[in-house]
Structure 1
């Protein structure tokens, strides 16, 4: 954090300076000098979105950084993670008890990676790299709660991977597959939203565990990318003229052993209709439902869970906080061996966050979406 002191002689207020790319203005300090106060550009949730998120739902808000209180530390954010699940918490009724709806007029919540630049918290010293839940902003003030943890990066791994394959997306894929999916060699693994941040990692972990993998995505280009870049054995284009039910029967005539669901709604219902005996259904998300008004759509074929003696279970990656090192060790091994590709859809600058999130919800991304600050 840069602080400049100017004599009272230069008392006029001057704005428009930039420090490390951030706007700054002069304000009085207790000693009667002028102090250059760093500004923090934030992206606010300006209003409750209607059915589909639009740019006007966000606003850009530069604010001066306040002084730290005891127990707090300041992060200069390096990367912001865009995760579709945060869309539901923009609604007035988020439909869950995991997080409260995001307050209007406050920064949009997000998982971030940042570097501690100032600290009054011994557990988070200056220079530490930290991952946690803060917001769309250049700087964040935190107290160590909200999933905050210090990262000790491996020199052979790109730093941003700790928000991708070694962060929430990778851990969500890993724990869902290992704990709920419990894969066995030769089983058939099917994941929807397969080109998204979680789906693209999940399919590769399942393949590493010996499963035959099927990825579901929208459009011929995405499906080709799944096979050519991520190594899926088979792909399904749910946007094609052929109904999804018929395509599932072709790739899984004996039924699906493991289903990794990121979509929910009618697609999940269709997939439940093609389960194998003793199938496991991993309930990770419901991206098809986050922008619906009037509640989630019902899911068909729930009876199949009974007749197929199947198991369906939901979870949050934060449930496994004490096992993060396990997941990081496993996925790091795949990265280093070349057994896992971790594609990133990059945007740059805090002001790009809103449109990048809108584009992600529209399915324009291949892989994980990150904002570089």
Structure 2
């Protein structure tokens, strides 16, 4: 059906070949996944099969015809037996769904009777019966891809080439498209699908041909995706120290505001249950006593705790009473929004 015989493909202006001595064969009725990283040569293989390019070295035989010996005049007739589906759908925006699918048959000169019969059958096969009069912009991405598949199948080709058919679709729609391709293959159509969808390749367990830097590195029956080194995964990055810096900044701002309130004219509220600050003594109301200068005296020693049951007075130079975090605006800074949270004195 499709045979590559030591094929090498070089493009002008590039040092390395896009394909380097690639050799494989696809039998009639097979479903083959063509996998590999971007630039590995998957799309080059599909273009060579469609005869959009010719090999620099080697030989390619498709449907019993050597693509090198095929004339340009005979190429359109050769391509009638090969359907192709692309990632970007390539629908005609000014034509209806019916007209998009019928366009392929009209180009090759099919009769109106055959068009009226074949197009509804193709639309029913892909699950779009009843949408023939819709315009492409009225369809979802998955429905547009189904129209593209119907257009590729309406001429009943022997080979279907799919180049990243689920690349622009969401995961659920991608599953539907892959199941559709499996049903088409079960009807006898040979399918060669180039894809990066590792999960589908692993689940479907079909034949896998893997390319790497233009070379065929694996040809496995009932295989999986294989080398995933080219598939990068996103991992959450930990911002080290960001939370600590934010908390430290909030604490420093709180300390500055507390210190400003303690030393300024605005008094800070005393802690509930704590002894109030001593008020200045009032002058006695008796006969005035002569005022004599007194020398500073040393502070009396504080008696031991067992001798004096009274609590020790605070020894800090600047009193640091509790501060209402909500009043200072710290609730938003520290993320404390609930009324049930309590904040103690900040050191």
What TM bracket, shorter-length normalisation? under 0.3
Task: State TM-score, norm by structure 1.
Answer: 0.24
Between structure 1 and structure 2, the one with the greater Rg is 2
Greater RCO (CA < 8 Å, at least 6 residues apart) = 2
The structure richer in strand per residue is 1
Task: State TM-score, norm by structure 2.
Answer: 0.26
